[in-house]
Amino acid sequence: MKKQSITLLLFALTASFILFSCGNGKQKIYGGMEFDSISVNETAHLIANDTASPGCNLTIKYTYPVKAVQPGVADSINNAVVQICFGEDYEGMTATEAVENYKNNYINDYRTDLVSLYEEDKKNNPKGAEVSAWYSYYNNVEAQPLTDNPKVLVYYININSYTGGAHGIYNIDYLNFNPENGHLITLDDVFKEGYKSKLNELLLAKFMKDQGVATLEQLQEKAYLQDTDMYPSENFRLGKDDITFFYNVYEIAPYSSGTTEITLPYAELKDILKED
């Protein structure tokens, strides 16, 4: 199913089943874990104390585990999510440390990288409003646990930003964890050895059905799979009854085609699924 833009529908449908704190210090339990959350919404002007200069806006909505039944599980999960949200430089930091450092670095880097360029453009271009628009950046980071599968802790991570140019950049990642040990689940954990060939066939057949075409050539005419063959994405979501493979822009289609989801029921995958 093609998505032209990222919506909050998925989160809205699942949020009512997730119990976590909303900045009030209370922590609720889901899946044997306790969660807390951090929210940031901060705008900083490119030139400090100059409210006429363009600005950058950073929003962060980060829900993270603070306690699990087994020792070390919460830290293991948080460390994996932190690296996807903020980068490998933040490995080993707690959630609060990562968010605070990322916020400070984002604002500092914005000013360090752009002040001199902005001043030069402003001097050479009389259309000050247009120049300001070029330097009005934003970055939104969201990380939330989903609950459509009671046996797996699935994280939804949505990062979208604008750093100049014709359009912004957005990326969605799904991380699947074993809540008992904090292990990040990969496709090799889910499927039997040698699964890729059969899985590719199933994915391609389902995708062509979703797009209403009968051949690969017709699919390519719609701008899909022009530069790559079908492959099972490691960016997947383990649902209760099915598995959804997610492809961000540029992975199997151009930016104009948006993101792509292909969902396969477990019943159709039983021959290549591991028993556990």
Residue 53 Cα distances to 11, 45, 128, 133, angstroms: 35, 6, 10, 10
Tokens of 273: 């699924």
d(CA 22, CA 60): 13
Q: What is the pLDDT along the chain (276 residues), one digit of tens a residue?
A: 444 333 333 333 333 333 334 444 444 455 678 999 999 999 999 999 899 899 999 999 999 999 998 999 999 999 999 999 999 999 999 999 999 999 999 999 999 999 999 999 988 886 666 788 889 999 999 999 998 888 899 999 999 999 987 888 999 999 999 999 999 999 999 999 999 999 999 999 999 999 999 999 999 999 999 999 999 999 999 999 999 999 999 999 999 899 999 999 999 999 999 987
What secondary structure letter does DSSP report for 17?
T
Residue 269: φ, ψ to 5°: -110, 5
Query: What is the reported pLDDT for 17?
Result: 34
pLDDT score, position 99:
98
Residue located via tokens 């389902």:
206
Residue 167: its pLDDT value, please?
Answer: 83
Question: Which residues lie below 8 Å from residue 91, measured CB to CB, with a gap of 6+?
Answer: 79, 82, 83
